[in-house]
Amino acid sequence: MRLDVLTLFPEMFAGYLGGSLLKRAIERGLVEVRLYNIRDWATDKHKTVDDRPFGGGPGMVLKVDTVVPCVEEVRRQGADPGHLVMLTPQGRRLDQAVVEQLAARERIVLLCGRYEGFDERIRLLLEPDEISIGDFVLNGGEVAAMAIIDAVIRLVPDVLGDAQSSQVDSFSGGQPRLEFAQYTRPRVYRELEVPPVLLGGNHEEIACWRQQNSKRRTRLRRADLL
Ligand code: ADE
């Protein structure tokens, strides 16, 4: 899978890309990430990427004549122009079903905004898949892009060490459920004991306990999922 990130702050991704799971996936050639600085497409000598909104008001707006050529040129690189995602609080809400749709793509181009937003004509001309990671406003799309990359690469075949571990995650599969409670050693800590069924080695009983635990948690914490 190829991921192209278009941002005014490519340096924000350095630490994240160097992190263990993604770093290994990149080294193994399973995932390729390319960063582009939108500012490189600015046309004036001051490298201006934003301007004051027509009609007045606070903040700055990303310029259509910088962002559109940037996206078009990046998409022309490679045979597949890729699926264009714009990170914005106005987009459709990210959930595991959206992550699964994105993971099916060969190439995703992630467009990160800053300031007050994008000139509306960027939307009209590029018709991106607008995605929000939640009903709150971030300072820009970069953290949202990292959230998408993080969730998507888990579903790329062979990225996870244990082939099963993305299957039991909360929200994966047809019926979204919270994951069951997990325990590891020690068996007792500050008088809190691991449920005995998990120590018994009876796989059927363990599966049954986990299913019930998962259902109960979902009912108590996220009834909206049921
Ligand atoms: N940019 C600013 N806020 C955002 C959000 N909630 N989701 C995606 N991109 C954003």
Q: 96-103 and 142-153 are packed helices; what angle lies between their axes, rounded to 10 degrees?
A: 70
State how far the Cα of 102 lies from the Cα of 16, in Å rounded to an integer: 20
Per-residue pLDDT of the chain (226 residues; tens, 9 = 90+): 999 999 999 999 999 999 889 999 999 999 999 999 999 999 999 999 999 999 999 999 999 999 999 999 999 999 999 999 999 999 999 999 999 999 999 999 999 998 789 999 999 999 999 999 999 999 999 999 999 999 999 999 999 987 557 765 678 667 789 999 999 999 999 999 999 999 999 999 999 999 999 999 999 999 999 8
142 CA → ligand 1 middle, Å? 8
| Amino acid at residue number 186 | P
Ligand 1 binding pocket includes 7 (Cβ within 6 Å) = no
Ligand 1 binding pocket includes 135 (Cβ within 6 Å) = no
What tokens were used for 157? 């075949």
Ligand 1 binding pocket includes 88 (Cβ within 6 Å) = yes
Return the residue matching tokens 């310029």.
63
Set 39, 75, 123, 154: catalytic member: 154
DSSP character at residue 10: G
Has 154 been annotated as catalytic? yes
135 CA → ligand 1 middle, Å? 8
3-class secondary-structure state, position 160: coil
What tokens were used for 217? 């948690």
Write out pLDDT tens, residues 186-200. Answer: 999 999 999 999 999
State how far the Cα of 62 lies from the Cα of 80, in Å rounded to an integer: 26
196 CA → ligand 1 middle, Å? 44
C-alpha Rg value of the chain to the nearest Å: 22
